[in-house]
Chains A and B, each alone.
Chain A
Amino acid sequence: DIQMTQSPSTLSASVGDRVTITCRASQSISGWLAWYQQKPGKAPKLLIYEASRLESEVPSRFSGSGSRTEFTLTISSLQPDDFATYYCQHYIGYTWSFGQGTKVETK
């Protein structure tokens, strides 16, 4: 099974900061990677799919990059609404797995 490892597990940041979260796959997954945002008590929300494609109506401050085994989610200027937990998710051959999550909290 492909393992997804996110880092860091927790990130302390301030409004306006540039934030980067990394997701590493245990083997190449090409570009089949998505990023989700989850707030407490809510379902996950799709932000990025196919590693770098921005989901409709997601603010452009979110961007994704990477390929094969290393991927990043970047928030160019952190906004108050962005404090949440972020998950990467790979998909290949009708199997999926999630990273363990990165909590973005207030510094």
Chain B
Amino acid sequence: QVQLVQSGAEVKKPGASVKVSCKASDYTFASYGITWVRQAPGQGLEWMGWISAYNGRTNYPQKFQGRVTMTTDTSTSTAYMELRSLRSDDTAVYYCARGNGHFDYWGQGTLVTVSS
């Protein structure tokens, strides 16, 4: 069945970068976009951006523009999200999800902890 499997937990120092992967299986990767959503401890869901797996088109909310880069590798059906200049308030669980409107399959989440 359709699966999105994310990379493991990360611990980073303030100012560093993190790159999270999301490997898709059992569907035609290029037919759907991938979105990234994060959730800080005890908080709600925050949309970070979307990438078309078909042509690499991206859309980021203003909050993350200049600090986030989303890419895909169609040869391995893998999406990546890189967040730079990490701060303590970037500590969160980061999710990838499949879709172009609503998101029907989600990864298991990757905990990124930013701490000195």
Q: Check if A and B associate.
A: yes
In the complex, per-residue mask of B23-35: 1 if CB is within 8 Å of any chain A CB, else 0: 0000000000001
Q: How far is the CA of A55 from the CA of B101 in the complex (A)?
A: 13
| Interface 1/0 per residue, B77-97 and A, CB below 8 Å | 000000000000000000101
Interface centre among A43, A49, A89, A100 (most CB of B within 10 A): A43
Given contacts A43-B109, A96-B35, contact A101 B59 (CB under 8 A): no
Contacts A94-B50, A96-B50 given; does A46 touch B103 at CB 8 Å: yes
* Contact present for A34 and B103 (CB under 8 Å): yes
- B64-116, CB < 8 A from A: 95, 97, 101-104, 106-109
Closest to B59 in A: A94
Q: Min CB distance, B44 to chain A, in Å? A: 5
The residue on A at minimum CB distance from B4 is: A43
Query: In the complex the two chains form, what is the Cα distance from A55 to B103 in whole Å?
Result: 11
Report, as a range, how many residues of chain B touch the other chain: 20 to 34
Q: How far is the CA of A34 from the CA of B37 in the complex (A)?
A: 15
What is the bound-complex CA distance between A51 and B31, given in angstroms? 23
Per the CB 8 Å criterion, the residue count for chain A at the interface is 23
CA gap between A22 and B95 in the complex, in Å: 25
Q: Mark A75-105, 1 if CB is under 8 A from B, else 0.
A: 0000000000001010100111111110000
Partner pick for B45 among A1, A45, A49, A98, CB 8 A cutoff: A98
Q: A43-B95, A98-B47 are in contact. Are A34 and B102 (CB under 8 A)?
A: yes
Q: How far is the CB of A69 from chain B (nearest CB, A)?
A: 18
Q: Tell me the residues in window 37-61 of chain A with beta carbons closer than 8 Å to chain B beta carbons.
A: 38, 43-46, 49-50, 55
B interface list, Cβ under 8 A from A:
35, 37, 44-47, 50, 59, 61-62, 95, 97, 101-104, 106-109
29 A-B residue pairings within 8 Å (CB atoms): A1-B61, A1-B62, A34-B101, A34-B103, A36-B45, A38-B45, A43-B95, A43-B97, A44-B37, A44-B95, A44-B97, A45-B106, A46-B104, A49-B102, A49-B104, A50-B101, A55-B104, A89-B102, A89-B103, A91-B101, A94-B59, A95-B47, A95-B59, A96-B47, A96-B50, A97-B61, A98-B44, A99-B44, A101-B45
